[in-house]
Structure 1
Amino acid sequence: MKILLIGSTGTIGKEVYNHLKNTHEVFGAHRNSNTYPVDITNKESITSIFEKLPKLDAVINAAGTASWKHLQELTEEDHYIGIQSKLMGQVNLIHIAKDYLNDQGSITLTTGILAEHYEPKASALSLVNGAIHSFVHSASQELERGIRLNTVAPGAIAGDFPKDQKFAGYFPVEISDVVKVYEEAITGNKTGQVFKKYE
């Protein structure tokens, strides 16, 4: 498979990239890349990365950010950070990527445990994660040519977060287990799914 992985230097993206490159042709892209730079908050940047690559079989996004503040401190501008990046960045990626994928291709996004479990200072991220879940459920039914759309929703990653400490009510998960979920998302036949890795 030919796969574009956006966010290939992050905690999750780096491990997914290192695993998949052993058996697939993976193009690792991130904001500061010299070879495949991409900024998911910019539609022209998203289009540009696809124009540089051959027709793809899968796209994985592991990039996106949002504000971390208590609700009382969040401003409208704080909310827009996550809306522009993790929400609309991934939504725009879907709209653009679908035209550059082979038939039966797949798009896999990244959300997380905060879509449905509480953690202090995470309301802004919960907002965008929950919105992506709803969008994936619906938009996946309207993609053509057999293109599949899913999202992976992991908990905190062990090593990046204390192993013996709960995050949003759950202990961290091993990155190797999370990587397997991404692999399942791109190689399986499911669509419209939220692949949770924390229950």
Structure 2
Amino acid sequence: MNILVIGATGTIGKEIYHSLKKQYKEVYAAHRKSTSFPVDITDSQSIKNLFEKLPKLDIVINAAGTATWKHFSDLTEEDYYIGIKSKLMGQVNLVRIAQDYLNNNGAITLTTGILAEHYESKATALSLVNGAIHSFVQSASNELKNNIRLNVVAPGAIAGDFPENQKFAGYYPVDIQKVIEVYKKTIETNSTGQILKIYE
């Protein structure tokens, strides 16, 4: 099985990559600063260039994408476009392009988070794109080529990266190992169009 993890140096992506490497032989790590498999998900050509370097894939997991953190009254139109270009359209374009490079019955897993439906101060711009990705996954999952599955994992804050005794968006942080197991579930399941929420 050939697996690609995008955002493989981030808090979640790094742990997904190292965990999958222990279980599967062919796991590729892509990120902005990689010398082997660089990718910028805000650039469609960069995404295409990445897939052209790789063999046909069975699984693509994306843990990359950013948005602006500011109080609503301080957000400018350009601030919103940072998240729209990166975490929203970056993931949409990834799906759009990846479907042509995956084997039949492959799977794509995206990443959003708790802010899609729970409030946290200064997170309006991120909440907007997370919610949009959920709607996108529920719709696009019905129309992908070659029986490719499309799901999204929506974690809360990650323990260790965030104080374990402090709530974020109303919930305590989750253990990274629990998060990894949910990503692995998207590889093993036949389900598609699912929003897999990890809040405690």
TM-score with structure 2 setting the length: 0.99
Distance in 1 (CA, whole Å) between partners of 2:82 and 2:76 is: 10
Quote the Cα distance in structure 1 between the aligned partners of 2:106 and 2:122.
Answer: 36
Letter of the 1:145 counterpart: N
| Residue 186 of structure 1: how far off its partner (Å) | 1.4
Following the alignment from structure 1 to structure 2, what is the Cα–Cα distance between the partners of residues 94 and 190? 17
Q: Find the counterpart in structure 2 of residue 58 from structure 1.
A: 59
Please tell me the residue identity of whatever aligns with 1:26.
V
Shift of 1:103: 0.3
Where does residue 123 of structure 2 map in the other structure? Answer: 122
Shift of 1:144: 2.1
Q: Residue in 2 aligned with 1:26?
A: 27
* 1:182 partnered with 2:187: no
Q: Tell me whether 1:6 sits opposite 2:11 in the alignment.
A: no
CA deviation digits over 1:94-140, x for unaligned, max 9? 00000000000000000000000000000000000000000000000
Q: Deviations over 1:47-67 (max 9, x none)?
A: 000000000000000000000
* Unaligned ranges ≥5, structure 1: none
Q: CA RMSD in A?
A: 0.5
Runs of 4+ that moved beyond 4 A: none
Deviation of residue 187 (structure 1)? Answer: 1.5
Identity of aligned residues (%): 70
Which residue in 1 is equivalent to 2:39? Answer: 38
Q: TM-score, normalised by structure 1?
A: 0.99
Aligned equivalents of 1:162 and 1:94: distance in 2? 33
Amino acid paired to 2:122: K
Match runs of 1:159-198 below 5 Å: 159-198=160-199
